Structure 1
Amino acid sequence: MTEKRKNLLFIAVILALAAVLWLAAHHGGTGRTAVLRYGDPQVEQRIDLRKNAEYDIDTGLYTIHLRVENGGIAFVDSPCPDHLCEGFGTLKNEGDWAACMPAKASITVE
C-alpha cells in the first residue's frame, strides 16, 4: 500500500469516527431534557429530566405546575379550566409533547 493510500485511509477513519461521535451527541436529543415554552413574547426554558423536581411557572396567564420524576415531566394540579394538559401524562421519550393552551405553554422532550 502506498503512503498516499495509507494517509487517505487514516483520514477516512478519523472522519468516520468524528461523524459517529457527532451523531451520538447531537442526533435528535437525548431524552434527558425538556423544553418549556410559554408566554407572549415566548420564553424558552430547558429542564433537566435527570433531577426530580417540581416547578411553578408563572406564564402571565396562569401559574403552571410541572413535576419531573424518574426521567419524565408532567403537568400537575393545573389551574386552567379544563385540565386537559394533565391528561397528557408523563412525557419521557424524545418527541413527546404536551400543551396547556389556556396558559399558552408547551413542553417538548428532546
Structure 2
Amino acid sequence: MRSKKIWINVIFAVVLLAIAGVLFWMNSGRGAGGVAELTYGDDNTVMEIPLNKDAQYDIDTGYYTIHLTVEDGRIAFVDSPCPDHKCEGFGWLSREDDWAACLPARATLIVLSEN
C-alpha cells in the first residue's frame, strides 16, 4: 500500500514538472523574431522595430516626439506628449495585427509578426 502511494506521488510530480516545462518553453520564445512597423509623419516614414530585444525609442514625427518601449517581445506607447494620451491606452502590443495609433503625432504602430 505504501509503495502505491509513493508511485502516485511520483507520477503526480512528473506530470506537474512536464506542465511547467511546456509552459516555460512556450513563454521563452515570446517575441523571438517578432517585428512591429511604425508609420509616422506627413510623408508616412516607415520604421521596422524588432521585438526580440528590449529597447526604448524616441521618434520625432514632425508633430510630437513619441516614446515607444519594447519589453519581453511586446511594444507600447509610453509617456505620450500629446494632449489626450489615448495612444497609451492601447497598452502592450504583442500579437500579429495588434495595432495602436497616436493621431496627434500622426503615428500608427502594428505588429507584423510574432514569434
TM-score (norm 1): 0.72
Aligned sequence identity (%)? 63
Distance 2:86 2:41 in 1: 18
Structure 2 unaligned blocks of 5 or more: 1-31
Structure 1 unaligned blocks of 5 or more: 1-29
The aligned residue for residue 53 of structure 1 is 55
Distance 1:60 1:97 in 2: 21
Where 1:86 maps in the other structure, the secondary structure is helix
Instruction: Please list every run of at least 4 consecutive aligned residues from structure 1 whose deviation after the TM superposition is greater than 4 angstroms.
Output: none
Check the 8 A contact 1:31/1:109 in 2, yes or no: no
Match of 2:84 among 82, 85, 96: 82
Check the 8 A contact 2:33/2:52 in 1, yes or no: no
Q: Which amino acid is 1:81 matched to? A: P
TM-score (norm 2): 0.69
1:78-104 deviation per Cα after TM superposition (whole angstroms, max 9, x unaligned): 000000000000000000000000000
The aligned residue for residue 38 of structure 2 is 36
Match of 1:103 among 102, 105, 108: 105
Check the 8 A contact 2:40/2:61 in 1, yes or no: yes
The aligned residue for residue 12 of structure 1 is none
- Measured after TM superposition, the shift of residue 71 of structure 1 is 0.3
Aligned length: 81
